[in-house]
Amino acid sequence: MSAPNHYCGTSVPSHIQTAWDRWEGAAWRTIRHAETLIDHPADQRFTVRAPDGMCTTHLTLWREARDRSFDPRTGDRWPGGGGTPFTILGDVARAREERRREWDEKAAAQMQLIERVCLKGDSPQCAPKPACVALVQLPLFDLETAP
């Protein structure tokens, strides 16, 4: 995804354009929304691309964290799964929005943690790299000399 020259009425700095689909770009966009008071969800985790070099196990975990979403019907706190009924006295809309933001922030933090763990390279969860068949020297089978 290429970065635009302007976003929310502000010029996009060159260092943000190069990191547009990473966490730095997502943080910059969130700040632009807050400054301009544009009614847009603050959550930018769906605009972030997984970094190159992640193993398949951690990439799956990263996507699962990204896809976790707050359920406004149940109002469960992070990480969800029942047991936290949405029983709030007072401003229910404000409480619902606070919990949604809590989900967004914690899901993004979980994604970033998974990236750091995987890219560090010493996680026992990392899927082993598949052996490349092209690198294995197999003896050639010659039909003319075969028994």
Write down the pLDDT at residue 119.
Answer: 92
What's the whole-number mean pLDDT along residues 64-74? 84
Question: pLDDT confidence of 133, banded at 50, 70, 90?
Answer: very low
Question: pLDDT confidence of 82, banded at 50, 70, 90?
Answer: low
Write down the pLDDT at residue 137.
Answer: 44
Torsions phi, psi for 11 (to 5 deg):
-65, 140
Write down the pLDDT at residue 62.
Answer: 93
Residue spans of the domains in the chain: they are: 1-49, 50-124
Write down the pLDDT at residue 75.
Answer: 77
Question: pLDDT confidence of 87, banded at 50, 70, 90?
Answer: low
Supply the pTM of this predicted model. Answer: 0.71
Task: Tell me if residue 61 falls in helix, strand or coil.
Answer: helix
Q: Is the pLDDT of residue 98 over 60?
A: yes
What's the whole-number mean pLDDT along residues 70-97? 72
DSSP string, 115-132: HHHHHHS--TTSPPPPPP
Is the CA virtual torsion 18, 19, 25, 26 positive or negative?
Answer: positive
Higher pLDDT, 134 or 45: 45
